[in-house]
Amino acid sequence: MQHHQGAHADAAIRIDEESGRFRVARSSYTDPALHAAELDAIFSKCWLFVGHDSELAKPNDFVTRRIAGRPILFLRDRDGVVRCLLNVCPHRGAQVCRQKKGSAKLFSCLYHGWAFENTGRVISIAEGETYHEKFNEPGVNDLVPVPKFESYRGLWFLNYDPQACSLYDYLGNAREYIDLIMDQADVGMKVVGEAQEYSARANWKLLAENSTDILHVVTLHPTYLDLVKTNSAGTMVRGKVVGASVDLGNGHAVVERAASYGRPIAQWIPMWGEEARVEIEGIYARLVSRYGEERARRMATCARNLLIFPNLVLNDIMSVTLRTFQPAAVDYMEVSVWAIAPAEEFGKPALERRLTNFLEFLGPGGFATPDDIEALESCQRAFGASREAPWNDLSKGLNRTPDATDELPQRVFWLEWRDRLMQRAG
């Protein structure tokens, strides 16, 4: 079966250099067997985003999440150590914590009352005296930590593969772009409020593609562009996108381009008023003094859509967001989005500007997200005709230096997808 899925993955991509075509089989978005293979070859082997450091502000803070189908506890234990534990009781498998978030020094399973410190150590087993004398040797009945758990710049990732490379090496060239985002903060980035959660009746790979697709903005989001034009009294009109898409290795890719809109870090626009101009000029001066003119300009005036393979997106556009999407079924995904901002902005007008930008465009009820979901769900519905019309086309920009609207990031994603499924089969 694994060999069959490897052959299927290899056949899923068709590249014809002579005609400049790169095509992907539409069955790749609908085949349940391939979906199962992805869960094994990709989501059980790659580094997956768990959360941001600032979500666990104090010792004993925790949140529960579901990452690639596994329930996990993301927490800061009583000693301040950040941990990721499987949220499953070693006794009969119930979740030991059913709250979404909170603060707790210990967790007690509702089923039979086994109790655990937030370090994972078991401290109480129901009627422990009835077990064999060797049953409760140290560590045997503790909560199970995920095999690998590491962070970079406040972003925490897990990996279910004990043999996986380090997170640092996995991120590779993508670290430069994460640094460009995180270095915008003077005293560190913080998550603003709660995660925003929604779902889509579409295959997860469609959102991976869409997240670095700049071409669709004009055709799919005209209402937002009209709003910006109106609110700016015609001073902000989308023109030609100037920038590039870059293959970062390991399936990661980024689109970086000149921003045609206001950026809280640190590109002022007239509709924000003169008071904001003084504030933003001060931010820009700080960036220049710390990083030099060239890097400061890049941080302030360029936007980035960064995909970390397989399912994390950092949008550094008119606000900064983290987006991850879990493959709940072959035709269904669950999406989580966090807004992050420099900690020094909290309590200041700059944060309000940033959140307005986020909610207007990328929020679940914004001008972009509902459009995107409808487009992806429309694709999924149309894939019912994949026998008669079997191929998606991702050829734009093939065999040339790719610009910001070319489909290089999508091709990078799919080649990594194919390689990982074939490695599993091999």
Alpha helices in 232-368 (DSSP H): 274-291, 293-301, 349-361
- The answer, yes or no, to whether residue 6 has pLDDT greater than 70, is no
Give the residue-averaged pLDDT of 408-426: 92
Residue 190 Ramachandran class (φ > 0 left, ψ -120 to 50 alpha, else beta): beta
* DSSP code string of 303-365: EEEEEETTTEEEEESSSEEEEEEEEEETTEEEEEEEEEEEGGGTTSHHHHHHHHHHHHHTSTT
Confidence tier at 401 by pLDDT (50, 70, 90): confident
Percent of the chain with pLDDT over 90: 74
SS3 23: strand
Single out the residue of 72, 95, 304, 100 nearest to residue 194, CA to CA.
100
Chain centre to alpha carbon of residue 139: 33
Domain 183-425 in the same topology as domain 48-167: no
pLDDT for position 300: 94
- pLDDT(184) > 90: yes
What does the pLDDT average to over 325-350?
95
Beta bridge partners of 40: none
Residue 221 vs residue 98, higher pLDDT: 98
The strand pairing partners of 316, in sequence order, are: 304, 320
Nearest Cα to 316, choosing from 279, 284, 361, 274?
Answer: 361
Distances (CA, A) of 73 to 49, 70, 113, 166, 353: 13, 10, 18, 21, 33
* Mean pLDDT calculated for residue range 354-358: 79
- CATH 2.60.40.10 assigned to 48-167: no
CATH of segment(s) 183-425: 3.90.380.10
293: number of Cβ within 10 Å: 11
Please check the confidence at residue 370 and state whether its pLDDT lies above 90: no
Condensed to tens digits (0 to 9), the pLDDT of residues 196-220 reads: 999 999 999 999 999 999 988 878 7
Where are the domains positioned within the chain?
Answer: 48-167, 183-425
Rounded CA gap, 417 and 3, in Å?
A: 15
Residue 379 has pLDDT above 70, yes or no: yes
Return d(Cα 101, Cα 260) in angstroms, integer. Answer: 38
Averaged over 2-25, what is the pLDDT?
83
